[in-house]
Amino acid sequence: MKKVVGAGGGPAGSVAALAAARNGAKTVLIERGECLGGVASSGGLSVWGPFDDGDRLLDWDRDAAIENGRMLSPEMRIGKRIIKGIPEEILARLLKMHGAIDYKYGFIPVNPELLKLVLEEMLIEAGVDIRYGGQIYDVSVSENTITSVFMADKSGSREIRGDIFIDATGDADIAALTGAPFEKGRKSDGKMQGVTLVFRLGGTDFPGRFYQSRENIRDAEIKFKEAYERGETGHLYQVGCINRIPGMDGVVAVNSQHSFNIDATRPEELKKAILTGRKECHELAALFRKYLKGFENSCLLDTAIFIGVRETRRIVGKYVITREDIFSAREFADSIGRNAYNIDIHIPETEIKGEICLKPGTSYSIPYRALLPQKTGNLLVAGRSISATHEAQSSLRIMPCCMVTGQAAGTAAALCAGSGVPPADLKVEMLQKKLREQNVCL
């Protein structure tokens, strides 16, 4: 049996490995940490982006209506679920275990511990060989074809041979090692989006799945500014995004802290972001307890194991997805899935001009070619490092979309391994047929 080797056990890589194994390939998944789930588990950000194409500007008001038993307005009812397949299957398992809060619209809080368990169970059921604690540091390439990757773990160096490889590292590590072209940051100055160290608080008390009191947030941020001006904090903070963690009474995840001008592929810069981020998380936790209503009895439980990285390398693939593709809701003939998230760039004084949200009820398709590096014949890329411009990547980087590209990459890898054709020569109609059979929305 031909072998598929995947790198990265986050949303993209876990789903890619599951799809490859389910479609008949012997599959190995290499993950540097000790759990699956990526940003949603070890990254602390226990909330998935929307699975639907509704109006993102109405998410808070829609949530409030649902939670208070009010009828949704016609505008709030616009939209449908466009992300299905394996992501929806994982969500269904979590819901059965009370490990997610799903209103069929908007962002979806998930329980990180149950997510780890569900993903491991699903991959083991499919026969995936999970290799924890493995860091890929080199590749062997012959005539633009990867023959093996080299990983280091507690036992030393290991060579992992394969027929088709999937790079779901988030940083396009394998693609970069092969010499495949890539870009970083925006064109004007190379700046990338800020990184965030997520933290969890216990002892909170507020209604709803997200903290959405505009009045309380405004009042707290006035107090935050006053504290900063008095020299009590080293940074001017905002409340940010706070989501309840299902199954953990009073426990929330806080996505607020930011470190900017960081290249997370450079260890010294990453270390700086982690050290600064940890200190700022403690400052934020103290501010919340002092000034944010519902957090008077809160306490800092932990900071994430891994810092949350929004953007590093983006491959320059056989097609580069653009902002225009997103806002024209473009339909590609080689579509492998859909997304409807807005442009969301975390850079102060960002250069974005014009609209940032798609028209409610619309979505754009993702071309298979964006998963294919230009040079390496047996490599597919999934997740936030697929081929896109800086602006487009800010829409594509969210976890549900990463899972969509993961399912496509894993399915394609299995088809290629079974038929002996490189990914670029795979008939996209065959891939699309398989994806439709798996309930993927194309």
| Mean local confidence (pLDDT), 337-356 | 84
Percentage, residues of the chain above pLDDT 90:
97
Domain parsing of the chain, residue ranges:
3-186+312-437, 199-303
Is pLDDT at 412 greater than 80 in this prediction? Answer: yes
User: pLDDT-derived band of residue 104, with 50, 70 and 90 as boundaries?
Assistant: very high
Is pLDDT at 349 greater than 80 in this prediction? Answer: no
User: pLDDT-derived band of residue 1, with 50, 70 and 90 as boundaries?
Assistant: confident
Model confidence pLDDT, tens digit, residues 299-316: 999 999 999 999 999 999
Q: How far is CA 434 from the centre of its chain?
A: 24
Model confidence pLDDT, tens digit, residues 28-59: 999 999 999 999 999 999 999 999 999 999 99
437 by Cβ neighbours in 10 Å (0-12 / 13-18 / 19+) ranks as exposed
Residues in CB range of 382: below 8 A, 6 or more apart: 12, 13, 16, 166, 167, 168, 371, 402, 405, 406, 408, 409, 410
The one-letter amino acid code at 156 reads G
Model confidence pLDDT, tens digit, residues 226-239: 999 999 999 999 99
Model confidence pLDDT, tens digit, residues 186-230: 999 999 999 999 999 999 999 999 999 999 999 999 999 999 999
Pairing of strands 164-167, 3-7: parallel
Specify the pTM: 0.97
What string of DSSP letters covers 202-213? ES---SSSB---
Show the tokens assigned to 83. Answer: 């992300």
Kindly give the interhelix angle for 428-437 and 399-419, rounded to the nearest 10 degrees: 120
The architecture that CATH gives domain 3-186+312-437 is 3-Layer(bba) Sandwich (3.50)
Is pLDDT at 157 greater than 80 in this prediction? Answer: yes
Average pLDDT, the chain: 97
- Contact (CB, 8 A) for 52 and 80: yes
Model confidence pLDDT, tens digit, residues 371-408: 999 988 999 999 999 999 999 999 999 999 999 999 99
For the sheet with 26-31, list strands across it.
129-132, 26-31, 3-7, 164-167, 379-381
Residues in CB range of 129: below 8 A, 6 or more apart: 26, 27, 28, 29
pLDDT of residue 351: 63
The SS3 of residue 178 is helix
Dihedral sign for Cα 329, 442, 48, 108, please: positive
d(CA 400, CA 89): 12
68 by Cβ neighbours in 10 Å (0-12 / 13-18 / 19+) ranks as exposed
Element of type H or E holding 113: helix 112-126
Q: How many CA atoms lie within 13 A of 418 on its CB side?
A: 16
